[in-house]
Structure formats: C-alpha cells, structure tokens
Amino acid sequence: MEIYGKEEDRAKWAMHYAQVKANIEQPQRSHKVTVSGTTKQGKPYSYEYSYADLADVDKAVMEGIKKATDKDGNVVFSYFFDISTGNTSVTVQTILVDSSGFTVKTNKITFQNSRPQDAQATASLISYAKRYSLSGAFGIAADDDDDAQDQKTIYEPKVLTKRELEEYKVYYNGTMANLYGLYQEAKEGIKDAQDWFNESHTPQDAQAVHQIAQIFKKKHAETKESDKAKKAALEKIQQSQTKESKKDPLADKKVASGGDTVVDGLF
C-alpha cells in the first residue's frame, strides 16, 4: 500500500472512507458461469460460480460515494484505477482519494495473461483484475465463498466454438502454441507439454482444455467402437467361411489358392 498527502489530512481521508464503506450495500451475485478444467494434481473439476461483475461492484461503490458528502452536498471521496499490462501479465491498483487530496494506493495485484495477443481476452482479464481490486479496496464480497476458488482468476470464460478451439493458442515455453497440438504432444508423452497441463491456468484456458479433452475422449470412444465393429465383422466372415468349409471340402483350398480358377488348374 502506498500513501500520499499531508499527515494532517490522513484523519479526514479515513473518515470519508469509513462513510463510503458504511453506505455500500453488497451487490447481488446474479451472474453465473460454469468453470471446468484440471487441478495441479491432474484431477478434473467443474463447478458453477456466482459473482457480481465489475459494473455491479462499481455501482455499489458509487452509491456509497454519493452518500458521503460535505455540508454543501459535494462528494468528498472517489477512486480510479492504475493499470499496467506487460507481455504476459496485467497489474491493477485502486487509487482512493478524498477532497483534501490525501491518496491511498492499494497493493498491486497481478494476473498472468496467457493470451497477450488476444485483445478480447486481455480486456476480460483487466475487467476481472479491476473488479477484484475494487472489491478488496471496499470490502465487497463479489464472489462465492467456495473452496473451489483455489483455482482463482475467474473472469467469465465462455464455451468455445469448434473453430475457436482449433485456433486457440496458449502461452507455452516463451511463445504462443496451438492448444490442440500441445494436447496431442502431452498425450504422446512429451514431458514439457504434460507439465504445462499440470500447472494452474486461467479459467478460459481451463475451459478450452476441458473442451478439447472431451473431443479427444469422444474420438477415442468412436475409434474403439469402430475397431469393435470391424472385429465383429471379421469374426462373422470367419464364421461364415468355417461353415462353408464344412459344406465344401475344397473351400479351404479355394480360399488359400485364390479361387476356383486356380483350383481347377490343379486337377
């Protein structure tokens, strides 16, 4: 936490902050999203997550700010964000300032950005970071209190289309890699790829992994069924040939030698 301003204004800031916080009503956690993925131990997880989005949290804070006024009805407290983005991360601070100019910066929070080249994904992560920081600054419970939150970094992952999955890229060993190819490498036993999947990921990456895993699982099941059908067909043919050989003593010779023409040539 960083503090700026005259020491004599600290008490005024604290009083204004307390007024705002006392007038904040906890927002409804009316938004829901299902998050699926794999834990660090390799176990799959899936749960429904309820939360108040950034707009809900901001509205709750602003309602509290509107009620914290001086004798002339002027707002005496406000906030804004300090945001910085790197190649692979997003960092946010909430700046709390009152009418005296006394300012407090909350601790910086940083989230890893596995898709820095995806503007939409980065914007979603920034929104999540702002919501997380603002909620912490004013003591707002914007998320479900759930042990599953050990996964964290939840910012509204979506179910991806087939094309989006085929083109989905993740940050891997210092570069962007196609998730489909990375998943195949992991299945083939490449350790670096397997280690990547055992790490913690953003919910959107986890959602993509979950969907791709389901696709591979379905393909495996279809291949297994196909092999089973082929085996059954082969057994049926063999059974049919066995029956024919019992009816015709020369059947085995015909099959082995290529047909009646060859057999006829031997007699």
Write out the H or E segment, with its range, that includes residue 204.
Answer: helix 203-247
- In this structure, are residues 112 and 134 in contact, taking their beta carbons and an 8 Å threshold? no
Across residues 159-175, what is the average pLDDT? 80
- Close Cβ partners of 55 (under 8 Å, ≥ 6 residues apart): none
- In this structure, are residues 84 and 171 in contact, taking their beta carbons and an 8 Å threshold? no
pLDDT per position as a tens digit, 108-157: 888 888 777 888 888 888 988 899 899 889 988 766 544 334 334 444 56
The model scores a pTM over 0.75: no
Among residues 216, 197, 208, the alpha carbon closest in space to that of 118 is found at: 208
Judged against a pLDDT cut of 70, whether residue 94 lies above it is answered with: yes
Mean pLDDT, the chain, rounded, equals 78
Judged against a pLDDT cut of 50, whether residue 81 lies above it is answered with: yes
- In this structure, are residues 32 and 50 in contact, taking their beta carbons and an 8 Å threshold? yes
Across residues 190-217, what is the average pLDDT? 81
Q: In this structure, which amino acid lies at residue 129?
A: A
| 235, two tokens | 């057994």
Judged against a pLDDT cut of 90, whether residue 227 lies above it is answered with: no
pLDDT per position as a tens digit, 37-80: 666 556 676 667 678 888 999 999 999 999 988 888 899 999 99
**Higher pLDDT residue, 177 or 149?**
177
- In this structure, are residues 113 and 125 in contact, taking their beta carbons and an 8 Å threshold? yes
Q: What pLDDT does 260 receive? A: 47
Q: What pLDDT does 146 receive? A: 43
Distance CA 82, CA 70 (A): 27
Distance CA 55, CA 99 (A): 24
**Higher pLDDT residue, 13 or 48?**
13
